[in-house]
Amino acid sequence: MRRLYEPAAYGPQGACYWAGTLPAADWGRPEGDAGTEVAVIGGGFTGLSAALHLAEAGTAVTVLEAEHPGYGASGRNGGFCCLGGAKASPATIERRFGSGAAQAWAGTEKAAVARARALIDRFGIDADTHSDGEVLLAHKPRAFAALRAEMPDLARAYGVTPLLIPPEALADHGLGGTGTAPCTCRSALP
C-alpha cells in the first residue's frame, strides 16, 4: 500500500512531554458482538468530533481506534487553533475562487476556532489556551514587508485589526529574546 506520509507517521508515537505526564489509560477492547448505528474509524480530532455530534443528536455511535484516542496526527501536532491555516493568502484565495468563496473560507476558519473554544469551555478542558490571536513572525526584512502588505487582506478577510510590532518593541509584547524575528503581525479575534 502506498502511504501519504513518511514511515515515522505510522510508527510508534515518540516521546511526548504531555503524554508522559499522565498515566496510561486502559481503554480496553470490545468483546463479543456489538451493534451501533454509526461506526467512526479513528479517535483523532475529526473522529471524536463526529462521534460527539452524532451522539448528541441521538445516534448510537462507536469509535474504533487501533491505538488510543489522539494517537495519530491529532496527538502529534503543535496544538494550534488559529486563523490562516491555508497555504494561500486571503488575497490569493479571493483572486482564484472569487470573493464569495474567500468569505466562506474565512467564515469557516472563524467558526472552527469558535467551535473549539466552545467545546473547551463546555467540557472544562484544561487546554492551556493563552492568547486572543496568532503571532506571525518575519525572519527577514522581505518577510516583514510581506506581512505589512498582507495586513489589509487579514483585516478584510477575518474582521481583525492586525498589529505590526517593530523589532525594538518585541520584548514589550513578550516576544523578546536572542534571535527573535525582526517583526510580528498579531491578528486577534474580535
Q: Which residue type does 22 have?
A: L
- Residue 189 is predicted with a pLDDT of 44
Residue 68 C-alpha cell reads as 488510543
pLDDT digits (tens, 9 = 90+) for 26-68: 887 878 888 999 999 999 999 999 999 999 999 999 999 988 8
**100-114, 130-144, 174-188: the lowest-pLDDT one:** 174-188
Q: Distance between CA 31 and CA 27 in Å, rounded? A: 12
| 133-138 vs 183-188, strand pairing mode | antiparallel
In this structure, which amino acid lies at residue 133? G
Span 61-90, mean pLDDT? 83
**pTM of model > 0.75:** no
Which pLDDT does position 124 carry in this prediction?
A: 95
Q: Which helix (H) or strand (E) holds 188?
A: strand 183-188
Instruction: Note the pLDDT of residue 63.
Output: 94
Render the burial of 129-149: b for 16+ CB within 10 Å, e for the rest: eeeebbbbbbeeeeebeebee
Q: Return the SS3 of 138.
A: strand
Q: Cell digits for 88?
A: 494561500
pLDDT of residue 133: 76
User: Which has the closest alpha carbon to 62: 44, 46, 45, 47?
Assistant: 47
Rg (CA), the chain: 21
Sheet holding 183-188, edge to edge: 133-138, 183-188, 163-165
What pLDDT digit, counting tens, does each position of 159-178 carry?
Answer: 888 888 887 888 887 776 55
Assign 41 to helix, strand or coil.
Answer: strand
- Residue 38 C-alpha cell reads as 454509526
Query: What is the predicted pLDDT for the residue at 88?
Result: 86
126 or 47: which carries more pLDDT confidence? Answer: 47
Distance CA 115, CA 57 (A): 17
